[in-house]
Amino acid sequence: MTAMVIIDDVNGWDFAWDDNDPSDTDAICGGHGTHTSGTIGAVGDNGIGVTGINWDVRIMPLKIFRKYLLIFCSASSSDIISAIEYASMMGVRVSNNSYGSTSYSQAEYDAIQASRSVFVAAAGNDGANTDVSPQYPSAYGLDNIISVAAADDDDLLASFSNYGTASVDLAAPGVGILSTLPGDTYDLYDGTSMASPHVVGVAGLLLSQDPSLTVNEMKWRILNGADPKGLPVLTEGRLNADNSLGFGLALPDVTVILTPLGPTTVSQGDTINYNIALTNNTAFSETVEARVFVQLPDGSIVDLEGPGTFTVPGGGTIDQDFSKVVPAGVDTGVYTLFGQVQSADSFDEDPVDYEVAP
Give tens-digit pLDDT for 212-262.
Answer: 999 999 999 999 999 999 999 999 999 999 999 999 999 999 999 999 999
Q: Is the pLDDT of residue 4 over 70?
A: no
Give whole-number Cα distances, 174 to 14, 33, 101, 177, 196, in Å. 26, 15, 19, 6, 8
How does residue 18 score in pLDDT terms, banded at 50, 70 and 90?
A: confident
Q: In this structure, what DSSP letter does residue 315 have?
A: T
- Cβ atoms of 316 and 302 within 8 Å: the answer is no
286-310 mean pLDDT: 97
Q: Are 270 and 325 in contact (CB under 8 A)?
A: yes
With a pLDDT cut of 90, the percent of the chain lying above it is 89
Q: Mean of the pLDDT values across residues 312-336?
A: 97
254-356 folds as: Immunoglobulin-like (2.60.40)
Tell me, yes or no, if the pTM score tops 0.75: yes
Helix (H), strand (E) at residue 127: none
In this predicted structure, the answer to whether residue 1 has a pLDDT above a threshold of 50 is no
Does residue 327 have a cis bond before it (omega within 30 degrees)? no
- Mean pLDDT score, 147-167: 98
Domain-wise residue ranges, the chain? 13-249, 254-356
pLDDT above 50 (res 114) = yes
Element (H, E) at 62: strand 62-63
> What CATH topology corresponds to 13-249?
Rossmann fold (3.40.50)
Q: What integer is the mean pLDDT of 295-308?
A: 97
Residue 322, pLDDT score: 98
pLDDT at 67 over 90: no
Q: Which of 146, 114, 137 is nearest to 295 (CA)?
A: 114
Determine the Cα–Cα distance for residues 274 and 322; give it in Å rounded to an integer: 5
Burial of 5 (0-12, 13-18, 19+ CB in 10 A): exposed
Pair type for strands 62-63 and 13-14: parallel
What is the average per-residue pLDDT within 269-288? Answer: 97
3-state SS assignment for residue 226: coil
pLDDT in the model for residue 66: 85
Domains 13-249 and 254-356 share a fold: no
Residue 163 and residue 196 in contact, taking contact as beta carbons nearer than 8 Å: no
Report pLDDT digits (tens) over 192-218. Answer: 999 999 999 999 999 999 999 999 999
3-class SS of residue 319: strand
What is the distance between the alpha carbons of residues 116 and 129, in angstroms, rounded to a whole number? 27
Q: Hey, CA dihedral for 236, 206, 311, 302, is it positive or negative?
A: positive
Gap between the Cα atoms of 206 and 213, Å rounded? 8
- What is the rounded CA–CA span in Å between residue 110 and residue 299? 8
Longest Cα–Cα distance of the chain, Å, equals: 67
User: What's the 3-state SS for 68-119?
Assistant: ECCCEEECCHHHHHHHHHHHHHCCCCEEEECCCECCCCHHHHHHHHHCCCEE
Please tell me the distance from the alpha carbon of residue 126 to that of residue 105, in angstroms, as a whole number.
20
Distances (CA, A) of 227 to 71, 173, 235, 241, 256: 40, 12, 9, 10, 27
| pLDDT in the model for residue 152 | 98
Question: What confidence score (pLDDT) does residue 3 get?
Answer: 54
Q: What is the mean pLDDT of the chain?
A: 95
